[in-house]
Amino acid sequence: MIGTDLATVQLGWPIGMPLCRPLGRGLWEVLSALPSRRVARLLFFVHEDRIGVVHGFIKKAQKTPADDLELARRRMKEMQE
């Protein structure tokens, strides 16, 4: 499921909802339905025609937790340097 959704993003970028949504400052989120009826989130960025996946988790609340966003943005910065 997650791998298929990520491949869809890689092959069809740019893609919007319902598969992807912007989180701001260059960070994007892939929403991937799991068999358990939960939704996995992969946070990624696009840089020089490449996709960098920086964080993944199962979101339990409507809003993306600030700690997860901070971690993803830090990793994005590291990968772009």
H or E stretch at 79: helix 66-80
Range of the domain at 34: 2-80
**9-42 pLDDT, tens digit each:** 999 999 999 999 999 999 999 999 999 988 899 9
What is the reported pTM? 0.91
Instruction: Indicate the number of domains in the chain.
Output: 1
Q: Could you read off the pLDDT of 44-81 as tens digits, one per residue?
A: 999 988 999 999 999 788 788 999 999 999 999 999 98
52 burial (CB, 10 Å; 0-12 / 13-18 / 19+) is middle
